Amino acid sequence: MFQLENLAAFQQRIDQFLKQKLADIAINDQRLFDAMSYGLLIGGKRMRPYLAYVTAEMLELDLDDIDPIAAALECIHAYSLLHDDLPAMDDDDLRRGQATCHVKFDEATAILAGDSLQTLAFEIISNHPFNNVSAKTQIQLIQMLSKAAGYQGMCGGQAMDLAATDHQVPIEQLQTIHKLKTGALLQAAILMPAKCREDLPEHTFSGLQEFAQQIGLAYQVHDDIIDITSSEETLGKPAGSDVDANKSTYPALLGLEGAMKKEQQLFQQALSALETLPYNTRNLSNFSTFIIKRAH
């Protein structure tokens, strides 16, 4: 299996940071705290934090300034999964090989834990004592995360995805759904660290933005592919769940072979975007390869 350089080290770094943030909060309801911890810390590949860290390394940034960005991204991602798994949305009982939060606890607690993780994300960024990031940029980071997570990004994409259940949508609409639902937060994982490099030329920022857009879509196309080609044991959740829910997916619209061709096209476009950057992009290139080779 293709391995990412320093993945384990960055996973350990972000997990330690997240555990410390949870330990620091004062909370009156132990059950809510337990559900927050369960949703945030049980498993997960930490892909968004990894992207943030390797982008920061490429741009020679202080990783202590990236910890709150990585943590906020993971809090948003975790909250979205807690809500996605609810009966009102995807109605899943299994996540990362474990019972979903609403099954482990209850629906109300899962909703409140998700709400709390969302607000914790912004608390982390707004309260962090950055070393080399101005107050203006700190506000811009909050704005970028708000846009990526909210109605202009992840939540908007999820709403469109739910509305597209039980009928096929045009490929252009499916692409828009996934640019928002999955791509927006992955893009933020690259562009938020880039924003911390305050002297970064606009054309370099644009190149990173293009890469992030292509790899975000490739990530979702591959998710659609492995949903029907991998086992429940490998995925850590029910295989074929999107098919069972009658959702529009790339294999459903293009066929499996067509979806794989689409994935390769996006992969090549992502690599082409990296070629425009005056940096060592090896880790971002390797991430692109990992995206289309992962089994779960």
- Asked if the structure places residue 1 within a domain, the reply is no
Contact yes or no for 125/69 (Cβ under 8 A): yes
Using CB atoms within 10 A of its CB, is residue 143 exposed (0-12), middle (13-18) or buried (19+)?
exposed
Is the pLDDT at 111 greater than 70? The verdict is yes
Number of domains in the chain: 1
* Residue-averaged pLDDT of the chain: 92
Backbone dihedral angles phi then psi of residue 176, each to the nearest 5 degrees? -65, -45
Rounded to an integer, the average pLDDT of 214-241 is: 79
* Nearest partner of 52 among 153, 197, 210, 158, judged by Cα: 197
CATH classification at residue 96: 1.10.600.10
The rounded Cα 31 to chain-centroid distance in angstroms is 26
Band (19; pLDDT cuts 50, 70, 90):
very high
Q: What is the pTM of this model?
A: 0.93
- Asked if the structure places residue 203 within a domain, the reply is yes
Domain residues for the domain of 281 are: 7-293
Q: Count helices and strands (H / E) in the chain.
A: 15, 2
Terminal-residue alpha carbon distance, the chain: 11
pLDDT of residue 245: 61
